[in-house]
Amino acid sequence: MSSESTPTKPEIHYPSSEGTDNGKTEAHVRTIANLLLTVLDHFRERSDVYVIGDMFWYYEEGSVEKRCTPDLMVVKGAKPGPPKGRMCWRSWVEEVTPCFVLEIISELIPAEDLNTRLQLYRELGVSEYFLFDSRRECPESRLRGFRLLRSNDNPSSRNDETLPLEGDGWIFSRELGLRLTPQGQVLRAINPSDQISESQMKDLVEHVRTMKRESAVLRASEAAKLRELERKTEFFRQLADAEQLRADKFLAEIEELRRRFPPRNN
Amino acid sequence: MSSEVIQPKETIFYPSSEEEPMAESEIHLRTMMFVILMLQEFFRERPDVCVLGNLFWYYEEGNRDVRRAPDIMVVKGVDPAPQGYRDNFQSWVEKETPCFILEIASESTWEEDQNAKKNLYRDLGVLEYYLYDPKMQYLDAPLLGYRLLTRENANEELESEYEELIPHADGSIFSRELGLILRPEGSRLRLVNPLTRIPLLEPLETSERFHQLQDEMKRSREASEKQLREKDEALRQSNLRAESERQRATEAEQRAETERQRATDAEQRAESERQRALEAEQRAVTERQRAESERQLAVTERQRAIEAENEISRLRQELEELRRRNPVTEE
């Protein structure tokens, strides 16, 4: 217990996170866990796609201060990392810039900090960056997405376009090919062409179970269909055999008759 | 650019984390996130078990400066999501203490993990405390485990100590609090079901299994569609054959009928020819008989004629004779 005089309960605010990377809210961790999994899974056949969260990105060689820590970033065309994984991302070593960045807004990030970060990502040439604020109810402030306009090549005066909010509040990320969709307090990535709506663990497990059941049912009904076809085929085969026998009998009779009564003209 | 003097490249150290980061590196983050996902899935049917990652744990009411954000903590006897997800965990509100804490060793925290944090968690009554070193570069073993042991000391006071859990030969330790074996396997921490000895599927394994299953189902669907098509074709062929055999039989039957007709006709014709021949023969016999009788008649006639001629000759000779003997005066 605190040795100081305890202030009255209602006045105490317990921050969930500091300005520096530190403790995170449950919604934050769940969002990162799910996005990490979904995006890794989505790009499972691309060894050059690197997905990482909460890693220091140093963008100027020689300066330890010139760094940022996106909550999630995705790099395409990444070199294979060291066997035990990367410890940090150094632009001059990697020679490629992340194409996607997500920041999860927490209570202690001032608006100007946010603008500074956005400006930084623009200057660094990040193609798409998204801001997610799980505490906001209003869709417009809950999820925001920006895409860099490449027309201006001067990094400090680059512009971006705001990506449109669609449907019930999702934004399509062209870089990921996934829909970023807020669900409850968590942001998920959904593959629009996939049958499953998300790669969340329990859903996947449930989905696998359902698929197993369905495939068993399918197999059973197909087996029945096959047996029915086989039965019909067999029936017609026997019918054909009988008809063949009948035809052969008549042909033999014809043969016999022709032998006995050779036709005059032939 | 830094305004400070730029140090030569080789000597610059780029820290991977600040003092208390959520994750320090790629492996740290993945391990943490995937273990959280696995444990959440494992405790899905247990609504009173809460798996939390990197959440601030405030353990002293009124003091917002004493807190910890363990990489993974498991709390039992609480609502996993009372009003949405938690922003932090306050012991005095929740009235529970985490029973399980796992820290993933990192460059900046591993020493603290083994000393200050361990003592703190002991004092707070965390029943099990684990340290995992995915890179095997900070700790003596890839996995260290401790279980709280409370006993009376000489002064009859309750005293809690962490007792080190002895790992099995493969480095694994059974966690009574989780009901799972924690098994370090290189840079990943396996969670193993102690009864089946089967590790829980990792999230990417699950999704891989899912894709495999999807592929398998697609393949088996294609195969069974192919089989269906083949069987369908076999049925069609068999049906066609039955139909063509039936046609052949019908044609043969008709032809046989024709042939039978022809045979009957031929027989009838033969019969009538024979009849005709028979009649002709009889007629011939009759004719022959008639001719014979005519011939005999002719023979008879001729004999009669001969006889008559002979008679005539005789009579003429007689007449001659008579004339010679009795000459008649010529008038």
Domains and CATH numbers, chain B: 16-200 (3.90.1570.20)
Q: In terms of pTM, does the model score above 0.90?
A: no
* Residues of chain A contacting B64 with CB distance shorter than 8 Å: 12-15
Residue A212 CB contacts under 8 Å (≥ 6 apart), including other chains: B213
Residues 220-279 of B with CB under 8 A from A: 220-221, 224, 227-228, 231-232, 234-235, 238-239, 241-242, 244-246, 248-249, 251-253, 255-256, 259-260, 262-263, 266-267
- Parallel, antiparallel, or unpaired for β A159-162 and A171-173? unpaired
DSSP state of B44: T
Give the helix/strand (H/E) hosting B286.
helix B203-325
- Whether the CB of A136 is below 8 Å from some CB of chain B: the reply is no
CA-CA distance, A88 to A93, in Å (whole number)?
11
CA-CA distance, A98 to A89, in Å (whole number)?
10
Helix axes A26-42, B26-42, angle to 10 degrees: 100
Nearest CA among A10, A184, A188, A23 for reference residue A108:
A23
User: What is chain B's pLDDT, residue by residue, as a tens digit (331 residues)?
Assistant: 444 444 444 444 444 333 344 556 788 888 999 999 999 989 988 889 999 998 889 898 888 778 888 999 999 999 877 778 888 888 888 999 999 999 998 877 788 888 889 999 999 999 999 999 988 888 889 999 999 998 888 888 888 999 999 999 999 999 999 999 999 998 889 999 999 999 988 888 888 888 888 888 888 888 888 988 998 999 999 999 999 999 989 998 998 898 889 888 888 988 999 999 999 999 889 888 888 888 888 888 888 888 888 888 888 888 888 888 887 665 5
Q: What is the pLDDT of residues A72-126, one digit of tens each?
A: 999 999 999 888 788 888 888 899 999 999 998 876 666 777 888 888 999 999 9
Residues 75-94 of A with CB under 8 A from B: 81, 84-88, 90
Q: Is residue A145 within 8 Å of A129, Cβ to Cβ?
A: yes
CA-CA distance, B294 to B300, in Å (whole number)?
9
> ipTM of this model?
0.76
CA-CA distance, A170 to A168, in Å (whole number)?
6
Angstroms from B39 CA to nearest CA on chain A? 10
- The first and second tokens of residue B255, run together, are 């032809």
Nearest CA among A49, A22, A25, A86 for reference residue A175:
A49
CA-based diameter of chain B, in Å?
223
Half-sphere exposure of A8 (CA within 13 A, CB side): 2
- Whether the CB of A253 is below 8 Å from some CB of chain B: the reply is yes
- The first and second tokens of residue B116, run together, are 């200050």
Q: Is residue B31 within 8 Å of B134, Cβ to Cβ?
A: yes
Residue whose token pair is 């798996």: B51
Q: Counting beta carbons within 10 angstroms of the beta carbon of residue B303, is it exposed (0 to 12), middle (13 to 18) or buried (19 or more)?
A: exposed
Q: Is residue B28 within 8 Å of B45, Cβ to Cβ?
A: no
Residue whose token pair is 């100081």: A4
Q: Is residue A59 within 8 Å of A44, Cβ to Cβ?
A: no
Size of chain A, expressed as the number of residues it contains: 266
Beta strands per DSSP E along chain A: 50-52, 57-58, 67-68, 72-75, 89-90, 100-104, 128-132, 143-149, 159-162, 171-173, 178-183, 186-190
Nearest CA among A37, A47, A206 for reference residue B34:
A37
